[in-house]
Amino acid sequence: MAAVTTTTTGIRPVRRRFSVGRAAAWTVMGLIVLITALPFYWILRTALSSNAGLNADPANPLPVGLTTSGFERALGLQSAKEAIAQGGAGGGLDFWRYLLNSVIVSTLITGCQIFFSAMAAYAFARLRWRGRDKVFGLFLAGLMVPTIFTLLPNFVLIKQLHLVDSLLGIALPSLFMTPFAVFFLRQFFMNIPGEIEEAALLDGAGKIKIFFRVVLPMASTPIITLSVLTYITSWNDYFWPLMVSYSDSSRVLTVALAIFRAQTPATGVDWSGLTAATLIAALPMLVLFACFARRIVSSIGFTGIK
C-alpha cells in the first residue's frame, strides 16, 4: 500500500472511499477558501457600485448601479465638484504619482538590498577570510532586533541627513541589507557544490566572475523568491513611509490610501471610491504574485525564519 501512495512528486494523501470525516474536512477547507476569497469579491463589487446604490441596497451580491466612477475618483480623474456630488471628498489625490512612488521605492529597495545581500552572503558562504564566522554571527544577531526599535532613531538620522520627505529617505534604511536576506541567500550559496567553483577557477575565472557567472545564476530561484517577497514587503510597508513622508512628492500608495480614508466624509463614507482605491493599491501585488505563485508557494517553507 505504501508503494502506491508514494510518488516521485513527494508524499501524496491516500485516496480513500467517501467518509464523513473526509467530507467534513473538505467542508472546512471550502469554508477557509470562502473566507479568504470572498472579501476580494466584495471589494470589487463595491468598487463597481455607486454610493447611492450602496445605500439603497447594501446586501445585493452584484454591483448596485454599475459604474466606474469610484475608480475615476480614486485615480483623481473627476473634478472636485463631481467627486463631492458622488460622495467623494473632492480633495486632490494623485494616485498615479503614489503608484509611481511605490514602484520606485520598492524597486530600489528590492534591487539594491538583494544585490548587496547576495554579495555579503557570497563572502560569508564561499570566501575565506579572518573573522568570517564572528561577523556573520553579528549579522544574525541583527535578526533579533525588532523593527520598531530602530525606527525612531533611524528617523532622527534621516532627518539629520535632510532626507525626510524624499523617496531616498524612505528607501535608505533597507537599501543595503537585511540580516534575513543575507542569511537566506547564504544558505543557498553554501549548498552549491565546490567542484563547480573549482572547475571555473581552473578555467581561469576569478572569484568575482564566479559570483556573477556561476553562483548568481545557480541561485536564481531563491533570488526570485526573495525578490518577490521583498518587493511585497516594501510595497506594503506603512509605518516607516508614514513617518518619513509629508507631501505628495514622496507619498507611497499605502500612506495615500490611509489619507484617502481619513479624508472621506465622516458621515457617509465614500465606500465606492475607497474600495476602488484599495483595489488599485492591491492589484500590482496580486499580479506580481500570480506571475511567480508556483515558485513562491513551493519555496516558502524555506523562508520560515522571516
Partner 1 sequence: MTIASSSPPSRLPLGGAEGAGTKSRTRRARSRESQGDGRLAAVFIAPAMLGFLVFLLWPTLRGIYLSFTRFNLLTPAQWVGLDNYVRMVHDPIFWDSLKVTVEYVVINIGVQTVAALAIAVLLQRLTQSAMLRGIVLTPYLMSNVVAGLVWLWILDTQLGIGNEIISAVGFDRIPFLNDETWAIPTIALINVWRHVGYTALLLFAGLQAIPNDVYEAARVDGASEWRMFWRITMPLLRPVLAVVLIMTVIGSFQVFDTVAVTTAGGPANATNVLQYYIYGSAFGRFQFGYASAMSVALLVVLSAITVLQYRLTRAGQTDLG
Q: Does 55 bind partner 1 (CB under 8 A)?
A: yes
- Closest distance between partner 1 and the C-beta of residue 219, in Å? 15
Amino acid symbol at 285: M
Residue in the block written with cell 513611509: 241
Task: Please say which residue, 26 or 96, places its beta carbon nearer to partner 1.
Answer: 26
- Closest distance between partner 1 and the C-beta of residue 265, in Å? 13
- Closest distance between partner 1 and the C-beta of residue 245, in Å? 12
Which phi and psi angles does 62 have, rounded to 5°? -105, 160
CB neighbours (10 Å) of residue 180? 20
Sorted by sequence, the CB contacts under 8 Å of residue 122 that are 6+ apart come out as 185, 189, 211, 215
Can you tell me the distance from the alpha carbon of 110 to that of 226, in angstroms, rounded to the nearest whole number? 9
User: In the window 89-118, what residues touch partner 1 (CB under 8 A)?
Assistant: 116-117
Q: Does 291 bind partner 1 (CB under 8 A)?
A: no
Among 72, 77, 207, 218, binds partner 1 (CB under 8 A): 207
User: In the window 231-260, what residues touch partner 1 (CB under 8 A)?
Assistant: 232, 235-239, 242-243, 254, 257-258
Sorted by sequence, the CB contacts under 8 Å of residue 164 that are 6+ apart come out as 155, 158, 244, 246
- Closest distance between partner 1 and the C-beta of residue 78, in Å? 20
In this structure, what C-alpha cell is assigned to residue 210?
Answer: 564566479
Among 62, 146, 194, 247, binds partner 1 (CB under 8 A): 146
Where on the phi/psi map is residue 117: left (φ > 0), alpha (ψ -120 to 50), or beta?
Answer: alpha
User: In the window 255-274, what residues touch partner 1 (CB under 8 A)?
Assistant: 257-258, 261, 269, 271, 274
- Closest distance between partner 1 and the C-beta of residue 10, in Å? 7
Task: Please say which residue, 75 or 257, places its beta carbon nearer to partner 1.
Answer: 257
Where on the phi/psi map is residue 145: left (φ > 0), alpha (ψ -120 to 50), or beta?
Answer: beta
Binding segment for partner 1 among 1-9, 70-78, 79-87, 93-101 (CB under 8 A)?
1-9
Residue in the block written with cell 477557509: 32
Are 186 and 124 in contact by the 8 Å Cβ rule? The answer is yes
CB neighbours (10 Å) of residue 110? 23
Among 52, 77, 119, 192, binds partner 1 (CB under 8 A): 119
Can you tell me the distance from the alpha carbon of 154 to that of 244, in angstroms, rounded to the nearest whole number? 10
Q: Does 147 bind partner 1 (CB under 8 A)?
A: yes
Task: Please say which residue, 71 or 136, places its beta carbon nearer to partner 1.
Answer: 136
Q: Does 189 bind partner 1 (CB under 8 A)?
A: no
Can you tell me the distance from the alpha carbon of 214 to that of 207, in angstroms, rounded to the nearest whole number? 10
Q: Does 177 bind partner 1 (CB under 8 A)?
A: yes
Among 20, 62, 133, 194, binds partner 1 (CB under 8 A): 133
In this structure, what C-alpha cell is assigned to residue 44?
Answer: 470589487
Question: Mask of contacts with partner 1, 17-36, x by CB under 8 A?
Answer: ----xx--xx-xx--xx-xx
- Closest distance between partner 1 and the C-beta of residue 161, in Å? 10
